[in-house]
Structure 1
Amino acid sequence: MSTLSSDATPSAVASGATRNRRTSSVGQFSLGDNASPSLSTMVPTDTQIRGSQHRQRALSKSDKPGEATSATGSDKKIGSIERTWILYREIAYRNTWVTPLIMMLVPLIAFALSKDRTPSNPVYPFLFPSYKIIPAEEGGMVMYGKGKKDFCFVMYYMLVFSFLREFSMQQILEPLAKACGLTKPGKIKRFMEQTYSIMYYGTMSPWGLYIMHHMPLWYFETRPMYEHYPHQSHELDFKLYYLLQAAFWAQQSVVLFLQLEKPRKDFKELVFHHIVTIALIFCSYRFHFTWIGIAVYITMDVSDLALATSKTLNYLNHPMTGPFFLFFMGVWIYSRHYLNLRILWSVATEFQAVGDFTLNWEMQQYKCWISQYITFALLFALQAVNAYWLFLILRIAYRLVFLEIQKDERSDEEDEDEEDDESKADRDLPAIEVNGGTDDETKKTI
């Protein structure tokens, strides 16, 4: 395998700096399932740019006596309430984490001000897991059941993940990308998305493995999935893990389906992957197949962690990009294919043979022929998408090793298109004088 190096001009070498090369295809390919679009990585539209211009003009003139006008361009003076609203809209436009933070704080403040801190408080299900089961014997294990209130928990933590994603990207990861020497807007955005993925999957992967380690499932044993069915209640850490995963995937799906960012070339595969994942999460939780679900969660999280790390190393032109890409290939094949195929085979062979196999709605016993077909179909669909992405991975590896092709046309074109959009946005948004300063100074004061 050839060594990847950076091109450098004589002046850059003299100053100790190097010029960024075009990103190689190692670690960069059309696998979008681990980093859906983010509000903070959107390219602003013409409408958004013009709206920001109008708000800036209105705020600028509102500080000058006799010149206050509304953000719509009319000559009427704006009052303090309207000015506050315009100011909020401009702040929220520039800082995409502000609105989810406000929405997240409302239930917290309401609960803090309430004297009722018990599950009877209507805000309680949004903040804390519901359906606590007190053990019959003292010192027994506290378990948690399931119900409709779990939707409240998932909805609230969709807001939490929205805030964490936008705040970390704008306030932490974007400065980090620039500190690492990235200058192109496209690469900075992709770096932000992949590094956020590392943060999330780097947390959930060990947590999932820790939970599994204390279960009969360890290590990816399939027979206990059916011996202990139905799984109507769980320990606290299991329930938190499962519902937080549901909130994360639901939040990403909303942003993806709203197409808040220009769809990428793997958009159809990405949408199909999210539909199947959400269906698996809901069905496994509702019909008590969560022991199958946690095994699938872990295989996806571990492989996504390796994928995001491989991409991030590539954006940074790190010397370990090539070796880590080979390591990533091994992790992907082992987790997304070997382990998932074992689970799929167990659904085909052990699902009916191990434990009760009958439909009983009163006893919440759903392990029957129809649930077997549905479970197998969803897992097979997920495996089909993974197989498509494995084909892309192997093709990149073949080109790199045998043809020494390091260019990935899809990735470079995508970055260049985004940079063109950014350049267009910059041209359409001239410096506007606000309070006697330029637009850049306004950003610092708002």
Structure 2
Amino acid sequence: MSTKSSEVVDQAARGTARNRRTSSIGQFSLGDNASPSLSTMVPTDAQIRSSQHRQRALSNSDRPGAPSATDNFKKLGSIERMWMVYREAAYRKTWVTPLIMMLLPLLAFALSKDKSPSNPIYPFLFPSYKIMPVGEGSAVMYGKGKKDFCFVAYYTIVFSFVREFFMQQIFEPLAKWCGLTKPGKIKRFMEQTYSIMYYGIMSPWGLYIMRHMPLWYFETRPMYEHYPHKSHELDFKLYYLLQAAFWTQQSVVLFLQLEKPRKDFKELVFHHIVTIALIFCSYRFHFTWIGLAVYITMDVSDLFLATSKTLNYLNHPMTGPFFLCFMGVWIYSRHYLNLQILWSVATEFRTVGDFTLNWETQQYKCWISQYITFALLFALQAVNVYWLFLVLRVGYRIVFLEIRKDDRSDDEDEDEPEPEKDEVVRKARAIGIDRSSTNVDETKKAI
């Protein structure tokens, strides 16, 4: 988040901007992959003023007539000065705080003499509950337990750093290099390119894991024949826990509303609640093979969705054809495959394998788990049907009406200045006005 004077005027000019509807292909509201993040937040006037005060103090310069921030800074002790430096760095670079939080446990573990699993920091950095092979040729397996929460918590912070760093240091410059100039499109481009990076890694990884399991290709009977799944190989456990960390990071930022809610905010919150419930219940009660299949259907469809949106922001000639390709992938993965899984829960869940509740043997495949699993997957499917309606509506307008606009209320460029405000911003920049007012008329008078 930049705090230069010209951008302060930008903020003022945007304060009274009308909501304009300029969405096109790929900009329909499918919030489950339009992941909220700190780096795309719009700073408040109070944050901008505080940042300006810190910058004047840190640069040892004050403008004529402005409060002497430099004199106040000189009076501060070393700790207060360090705190001010950190606050300004964290304000301008939102990846600084998660970087520090990520490095502290690594540093503590590196300095520790004990590198074994008995080290209290070990569960945060590495998967726990390693089970040595019992026979020749057997694979090393990993069990489950409370320490897995430590792993998920730490890598939630790691994902926060990775997301903010890539968005600000790589994807924002990339957006500008690609010719994007409007703030709204730059922010959405940053979000979607990060989604492409994440889902581009997790989709093939999930398919690779499934390829080496009896589940290939989306076979449902093995989900119940081999139950309970109390232990997994290392790649499976890492995949599952990293997915949990990713969705936890998404949910925390979403529920704190650190970004302006979009049109489908309620559906998005509901989707995240259901997803987190599915992750926890499937892991705790050993239905992870079902979870793996659901993960893959979501990741593959989200990869195509993010790519479709990114092509649209770039006005690429393949936007239309790729959108139609995305429609096919979405319907196949989010509905055809998911409905197959849902149908298997309704039928094979009871008839294939043991069907009894036994807490001692951790056998949880019974009538109540069947109802809970079906209810959660059905709820997820209900949200997907709503988003499918939006997808089909855009597709209908493209094919039959040749309209490349969507009527969603919160469009991608709503924070962009209108022509009149562009002129105000240009003149204000020319004479170096630095204001935090949100009223464009006041900015005009100052000019």
Structure 2 distance, partners of 1:152, 1:375, is 25
Aligned to 1:39: 38
Q: Decide which of 314, 324, 327 is 1:326's aligned counterpart.
A: 324
Contact 2:31–2:264 at 8 Å: present in 1 too? yes
* Counterpart position of 2:370: 372
Q: Deviations over 1:145-164 (max 9, x none)?
A: 00000000000000110000
Provide the C-alpha distance between the structure 1 equivalents of 2:246 and 2:433, rounded to a whole number of angstroms.
Answer: 37
Partners of 2:22 and 2:412 within 8 A in 1: no
Contact 2:37 2:164 in 1 (8 A): yes
Give the counterpart letter for 1:301 in structure 2. Answer: D
Shift of residue 70 of structure 1? Answer: 6.5
Query: In structure 1, how many angstroms separate the alpha carbons of the residues matched to 2:138 and 2:208?
Result: 21
SS in 1 for 2:359: coil
2:342 is aligned, of 335, 341, 344, to: 344
Partners of 1:310 and 1:92 lie apart in 2 by 32
Q: Deviations over 1:305-341 (max 9, x none)?
A: 0000000000000000000001000000000000000
Q: How does 1:129-278 map to 2 (within 5 A)?
A: 129-278=127-276
Q: Is the 8 A contact 1:68 1:75 kept in 2?
A: no
Show the counterpart of 2:416: 419
1:437 alignment counterpart: none
CA–CA distance in 1 between the matches of 2:377 and 2:340?
11
- State the Cα distance separating 1:68 from its structure 2 match: 11
2:412 alignment partner, SS class? helix
Alignment of 1:114-133 (within 5 A): 114-133=112-131
In structure 1, the residue matched to 2:395 is 397
* Counterparts of 2:67 and 2:403, CA distance in 1: 60
Residue type of the alignment partner of 2:289: W
The aligned amino acid for 1:151 is F
User: TM-score normalized by structure 1?
Assistant: 0.87
Correspondence for 1:385 = 383
Q: Are the aligned partners of 1:194 and 1:308 in contact in 2 as well (CA < 8 Å)?
A: yes
User: How big is each residue's C-alpha offset from its partner over 1:172-201, in whole Å with a ceiling of 9 and x where there is no partner?
Assistant: 000000000000000000000000000000
Residues 68 and 78, structure 1, Cα contact 8 Å, conserved in 2: no
Residue type matched to 2:30 in 1?
Answer: L
Whether the 8 Å CA contact 2:23–2:407 is kept in 1: the answer is no
1:188, 1:417 → 2: CA distance?
12
Deviation string 1:64-114 (CA, Å, 9 cap, x unpaired) is xxx99779x969811222112101110110000011001000000011011
2:88 equivalent in structure 1 = 90
Q: Is the CA contact 1:44–1:425 (under 8 Å) kept in the aligned structure 2?
A: no
| Number of the residue aligned with 1:48 | 47
Instruction: State the aligned residue count.
Output: 407
Q: Name the Cα RMSD after superposition.
A: 2.6
Runs of 4+ in structure 1 over 4 Å off: 67-71, 73-76, 420-432
CA deviations on 1:259-282 (whole Å, 9 max, x unpaired) are 001111111111010000000000
What amino acid does structure 1 have at the position aligned with 2:414?
A: D
- What is the percentage of aligned positions where both structures have the same residue? 82
TM-score, normalised with respect to structure 2: 0.86
Unpaired runs of 5+ in structure 2? 1-20, 436-447
Cα gap change, 1:362 to 1:26, in 2 (>3 Å): same
Q: How far did 1:420 drift? A: 5.0
Tell me what 1:299 maps to.
297
Kindly state the Cα deviation for residue 218 of structure 1 after the two structures are TM-superposed: 0.2
User: Which digits, 9 at most, give the CA deviation of each residue in 1:13-69, with x for residues without a partner?
Assistant: xxxxxxxxx966222211111122111100001121121122123323489xxx997
CA contact (8 A) 2:22 2:411 kept: no
**CA separation of 1:283/1:233 partners in 2, compared to 1, >3 Å: closer, same or farther?**
same
Letter of the 1:51 counterpart: S
Q: What amino acid is the match of 2:321? A: P
Structure 1 residue 408 displacement after superposition: 1.9
Change (3 A) 1:62 1:363: farther
Does the C-alpha gap of structure 1 residues 409 and 68 become closer, same or farther in structure 2, counting only changes over 3 Å?
Answer: closer
Mapped to 2, the partners of 1:75 and 1:285 lie a distance apart of 52
